[in-house]
Each structure stands twice: as C-alpha cells, then as structure tokens.
Chain A
C-alpha cells in the first residue's frame, strides 16, 4: 500500500494549520545541503517549535543499528523521543480519566433508572423530578466534556503533534534523498572502477 507516499497537498481549500504548514514547507528539504544525517532535526519549519517539545529528538545518525535507515526505524525512534512521549502522556492524562468518568456516570445513571425508579421519581420543583434532572445533566456533561476535550487538544497537543509529523516527514524525505545519493554514488564508483 502507498501509505507513506507524500501526497500532493495542492487542492486544499481548508484553513487547517496542519495542511497549511505542510503545503507551505512542501519540498523544503530539496536544497543542496549535503550535511550529515545527524543534523536532520535542524530542518524543522520556521517557528513551529513554539513550545520546544520536539527539539530534543535524538540525532538520527545515532539511533543504533536496529531498523535504522528504514521507515520503521524512523517511527521507532520518534516513539522513543521525549517529544512524542510528552504528546502521548498529555493525550492519555486527559482521555483516561475522562473516559472512565463519563462511562461510570452513564452506567450509574442507567442502573439508577432501572434499579431505583422510586428514587428517580422524587420531585424537585413542580413536575421536574430527579430523573429529568439527571437526564439533562447527562446532556450537559456530554457538551461540557466535548468542549473541554476540543480545547485541550487544540491548546496542548496540536502544535506538538504537527511538529512530530514534520519530523517524521523530513526524516523519511532525507532518507530517500540519502538513498538516492548513495545509489548515484555507487553507480559513479562502478563506472569509475570500470574505466
């Protein structure tokens, strides 16, 4: 499958920072810099390191032998980086308690409704009883949690995730370039040897 292909970001009509950033910097690594693989993270797009989370990736050239030089190697290396672990723990620190919380709250609500209808029927004000309030509270907590999650993701994750996406993209890109260069070098050497 072509899941790693660099897709053309041409016809994008959305104002989405992910795509804007990618489209703006697309092909940036095409410059002639023949620098060593170790300085690759320095190719990050201008200003996208706002909170510094992606700056501490280990240098590509020192990633050891296992899988290095392959796409899988890049993913393993990014997964072990502090920047990625920060994004992952921010996601988990929000999502795990939130999911446990709303599932428990929902199950408690349904169990209360089927097991203690008498309690739920207790009137509060006028025709409104505990059951109606609990039902409306379910709607309310759903809306609130949706808002809180969207806000948390926007402020605490999106930027850092985009930086990492860049890192992976650039490393894959540079790797392809290096491989192409190596091939050319090999061919030239072969030709030189043949002469």
Chain B
C-alpha cells in the first residue's frame, strides 16, 4: 500500500474518532447520571434510530470484510453465513424483542429474575452474559488489530498492538462518559457510513457488469478456477462429514445465538414500548438484509474483478477482498480514485469495529453492575452507585479485552465469534424461552439451564481441535482433543434446553403461579413496563 493510501485512511480514521468523541461530549452535557440514562439512554430513541443502532451493533467488521472475503475465496459457502446471520433475526422478532422489552429494565436477566428467586438467577445470567460479551469482544479486538495494521499498511507487531490499545481506550471513553446515548449515536453514524459505503461499492460493481448479474456470476466462476462449482456449496464445508456437521452446528449457533446476545437484547430497552421495539427490529431486518445482499455482490465482484489468487496473496482468510476491490473500482492502486475509495473502506471498517465494541462493552458493564454487583453487594447500597460500578466495570472490561486481544493476536478469530454465538444460544436462549413461555419453570431450572449450556459449550471448545490436537490449534503440541467439531452448538444448545427441563422437573419448589401470570400478562400487554 502506498503512503497516499495511508495518509488518507489515517485522516479519515481521525475524523471519525473526532466526530464520535464530539458525540460523546455532546450527549453527556446535561446528564443526570441516572441508571436509566446510562444503561438505556432514557428509553427515548425512535424505532428508526434504534433500528439503525441495532444494525450498527450487529454488523461487525467480520460481516463486512469477512463474509465478502469468504465469498471471494470460496464462493457460495460464504453466502451460507450471511443467510444464517439474517434468518436469526426472525427468532428475535417473533419470540424475543417485544416480550423482553415488556418484562425487563436493563438486562435480559431482569426477565428471568422477575419470576425466580432473584440472586442465583441473576448471578448465573450475569456470568453467562459476561462470558459471551468477552468472547465477542476479544474477537473484535483481535480483528481490529489485524485490520488496522493491514489497512494502514504496516504489518509489524507494534502497529497492531497500538491499534488494539487505541480501540480499547476509545471504547472505554465512549461508554464511561457517554453511556447508552453516545453508544447509540455512534452506532447510528456507523450504520449510515457502512450502508453508504456498501451501496456505493455495489453500484460500482454492477456498473462494471452493466447491471448483468448473470455476467457477474459467470465472471466470478471463471476467474475462481473452480468453474460452476464456485457457485454451489461445498468448496469450504464440503469435505468429510465432520466438516459438514461442523457447519450445521455453526448454522444452528448463528440462528439461535443472536437472540441470546446481551448487547442486542439491551438495545430493546432504549425504546419506550414493545411496539417501538418491534418496529426497530423491522428496520434492523431491512437494513441487515439489504446489507448482506450487497455483500454477496461485493464478494462475487471481488472474485470476478480482483480474483481469488490476488485476494489470498494479500490476506489468507480473505479479509482484504473488499479494500482491494475498492482500490480497483476507483481506478487502481496508483490512481487518486483508488486511494480515496480504499481510504473510505478502511475508515468504514474502523468505524464498524469501534461501534460494535462500544455496544458490547456497555452491555457487559451493565451485566456486571446490574446483575452481578447488585446481587452480591451488601443490602441498602444506593442505585446511584450502580452507575459508578458500571463505569468502573467498563474500564475493567476494556483492560481485560485489551490484554486478551494482545495475547490472542495471532489467533484465527472467526471461531471466537462462532463460539460467542454458540454460548449465547446454549446458555441465554433456553432460560429466556423457558421464562417467557413455560408455566412450570422454576429457579433451579433457570440456574441449571444457564450453567447446563454454558459449561458444555466452553468445555467442548477446550476439547475441540481449535485448542489442541491439530497443526492449526492454539496449542499444537498438546493433545486433549476428544470432540471432533470446532463449533459446539449442535451438542451444547440441546444440553442447555435439557438442563433447564431437568432442573425444573427435579426441583422441590413449585413454580409461582402468580409470578408466571405477571410475566405472561406483562410480556404480552406491556402492563407495568419500565
């Protein structure tokens, strides 16, 4: 990459950082410092604003760069990912968004704790929320490091480390000083930038092929060297049956995990009513669906115009396919147009990472303060101090994420994202579903359901080829491998549901009928909603 590229990209990075810091200062000017302000921005966002923020929270750099890169390298198998990421939103829309909005205040543990004996349930739900968030966060931090290093053109370790530290410091500043309000506006700005960038590139790709999709696909298939196999499934996940079952496992985790991601669930509390929550999910589905449709065009466009060989030469996992495509569409690496488009894509990717990490940090600090601290603290502490705890937690989580991000720098991060989804689907979704829909669900069932999903999910990963037993493992020298799949979802999700059922049928206490009535009435009518 030339210095022109770098300078432009750096200028745009700085502009985005300046704008986001400006937003943070602006929204915090009249802050009263209440928990309502900090966790949910006063619950006064409009459905459209929240829809953009949800899209901004959900579409990570992994989707923007990762999925189009996968399509550029493996064709159709990359598309399978985006379908899972989108269909997941139907679970959120139909089963979760409105009911969670009606029953909770700040975190999804509120929904469960309303029916059960509060302490053990909150501790369990808080622990699994923090686990999911930290996994997701580390993936984003590592991605940020390699991406920024890649995009500003210095592959040396120091630049990547500074990128990780810088991203971590910025996210702590956004969250601690701006709370949910700043985080939301940063996500909205990012969603607009991301959609704008994707639309511009998609239009340019389609213009190249005179709007003929068939020609685009044919060009991609021919350039790939795989012919028509490039347009059909099987290039990446079509190997032995282990690989195929592994993908099925990942697909299940993607579809069921989104509805258990704490930072997504927290977004529904930022609107005043369940109806507004539903409308924000409709906005989000429109944006996310449109975006993934565009990544398909961009991925096949990169395969047809840049070529998989050039993509692979730049980055083995395909993450640079879109920046390379942008450079080419702008007129080549030596032209001003190429430099400008490249810098734009780099800035959008950077904005994407910052917005996503801010959202996750806020959600996990809410879990620490509202669920863990509030359950473990001595009685009688003032609610005001909960916000202070959340800010301290944000700093702590930021520091943890920076440290883990630096340690895990050379790790393939795709599996971390898949793992975060698998843990969310195994530990958070079953307890949420049972609490909302099962009359006889008890405290023991809730606690068992969380740990019964969380522990197997984490344990199976430790025993998987990701950690040991194969040359690509984290510890290639050790062999603990007992479980053949990389993603534990297909086993751990049913275990989470099973544990919840088992805990309920074996518990001595009977379910509280009145509390179930309250949850059911509140979830469907919004009565008594915060």
Q: A: which residues have CB within 8 A of B?
A: 1, 3-4, 7, 11-14, 16-19, 67, 71-73, 75-76, 78-79, 84, 87-88, 91, 95, 98-99, 102-103, 106-107, 109-111, 113-115, 117, 120-121, 123, 125-129, 131-132, 135, 138-139, 142-143, 145-147, 149-150, 153, 157-158, 161-162, 164-165, 167-169, 172
Contacts and interface: CB of A to CB of B under 8 A. Distances in A.
Contacts of B17: none
Given A109-B83, A128-B214, A168 B528 contact: yes
Contacts of B90: 98-99, 102, 142, 145-146
B228 A129 contact: yes
B222 to A, nearest CB: 10
16 contacts: A3-B530, A11-B44, A14-B46, A14-B276, A19-B273, A79-B517, A98-B90, A102-B87, A107-B252, A114-B233, A121-B229, A126-B214, A127-B214, A127-B217, A139-B289, A146-B90
A72 B515 CA distance: 7
B340 interface: no
Interface of B: 44, 46, 76, 79-80, 83-84, 86-87, 89-91, 93-95, 98, 105, 114, 214, 217-218, 221, 228-229, 231-234, 237-238, 244-245, 247-248, 251-252, 255, 272-276, 278-279, 281-282, 285-286, 289, 292-293, 513-515, 517-518, 520-522, 524-528, 530
* Residue among A72, A128, A142, A153 facing the most chain B CB atoms (10 A cut-off): A142
A4 to B, nearest CB: 5
A159 to B, nearest CB: 11
B530 A117 contact: no
A interface: dominant SS: helix
A103 B515 contact: no
Contacts of A91: 524
Given A127-B214, A164-B521, A18 B237 contact: no
B218 A165 contact: no
Nearest to B292: A139
Nearest to B516: A79
A126 B213 CA distance: 10
A13 B218 CA distance: 51
Contacts of A167: 527
B521 A78 contact: yes
A142 B87 contact: yes
Which 4 interchain pairs have the tightest Cβ spacing?
A121-B232, A117-B234, A168-B527, A127-B217
